């Protein structure tokens, strides 16, 4: 406590030693308007003199040049304001984009899969219909129904005759049935009134 009082006294002495220009510079640096600080000091002095019944000659109020400054922080006020503005912008962007992102994720509840062509099987860079169907079966096995159906449709576009295979029909029916059940199920709302 005594150390804080000594620090305050040292700071007051330092401020008293400043010229008017230096004091104005420090006030501006602290984000204060020197004229407004002096006007407020005059107003307070007039109020105090009326309260005590004492006045100064000529109606002038004496205003001390001492203004306590806020302690220095590691970040300047300017950088703190910039950081706060950046956080607000990010939060607003997230709030605006969140419904779109959530709708997209809900619509496509699966991860995209990469179809790597078998280079040894053909000189073409396109995967064969058989490879596409194998990836579709893998997607169905991992319950990624939309991907499964998309891949089966892609393979059918290249090789319609391959759609007659039992495994293709079974995978297609399973995926369509699962998607139909997903559409028919009521949405899960945690804030539903009971």
Q: What is the mean pLDDT of residues 80-102?
A: 71
* Domain layout of the chain by residue ranges: 2-59, 129-184
Q: What is the mean pLDDT of residues 26-48?
A: 79
- Which pLDDT score is estimated for 186? 72
- Which pLDDT score is estimated for 194? 47
Q: What is the mean pLDDT of the chain?
A: 74
Long-range contacts at 185-188 (CB < 8 A, ≥ 24 apart): none
pLDDT digits 0-9 by tens, 145-178: 999 999 999 999 989 998 899 999 999 999 999 9
Q: HEC profile for the chain? A: CHHHHHHHHHHHHHHHCCCHHHHHHHHHHCCCCHHHHHHHHHHHHHHHHHHHCCCCHHHCCCCCCCCCCCCCCCCCHHHHHHHHHHHHHHHHHHHHHHHHHHHHHHHCCCCCCCCCCCCCCCCCCCCCHHHHHHHHHHHHHCCCHHHHHHHHHHHHHHCHHHHHCHHHHHHHHHHHHHHHHHHHCCCCCCCCCC
Q: Which residue has the higher pLDDT, 26 or 191?
A: 26
Q: What is the mean pLDDT of residues 178-182?
A: 88
pLDDT digits 0-9 by tens, 42-85: 777 777 767 666 555 555 555 555 566 666 555 566 667 777 77
Classify 113 in phi/psi space as left (phi over 0), alpha (psi -120 to 50) or beta: beta
Nearest to 129 by CA among 137, 191, 47: 137
């Amino acid at each position: 406590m005594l150390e804080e009082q000594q620090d305050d006294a040292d700071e007051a002495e330092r401020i008293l030693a400043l010229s008017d220009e230096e004091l104005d510079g420090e006030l501006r640096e602290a984000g204060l308007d020197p004229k407004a600080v002096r006007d407020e000091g005059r107003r307070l002095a007039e109020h105090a003199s009326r309260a005590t019944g004492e006045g100064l000659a000529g109606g002038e109020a004496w205003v001390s040049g001492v203004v306590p400054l806020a302690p220095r922080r590691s970040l300047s006020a300017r950088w703190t304001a910039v950081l706060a503005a950046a956080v607000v912008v990010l939060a607003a962007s997230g709030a605006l984009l969140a419904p779109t992102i959530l709708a997209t994720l809900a619509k496509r509840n699966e991860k995209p899969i990469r179809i790597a062509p078998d280079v040894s099987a053909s000189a073409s860079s396109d995967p064969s219909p058989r490879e596409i169907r194998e990836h579709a079966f893998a997607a169905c096995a991992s319950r990624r129904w939309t991907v499964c159906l998309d891949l089966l449709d892609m393979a059918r576009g290249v090789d319609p005759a391959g759609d007659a295979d039992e495994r293709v029909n079974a995978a297609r029916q399973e995926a369509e049935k699962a998607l139909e059940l997903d559409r028919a199920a009521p949405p899960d709302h945690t804030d539903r009134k009971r």
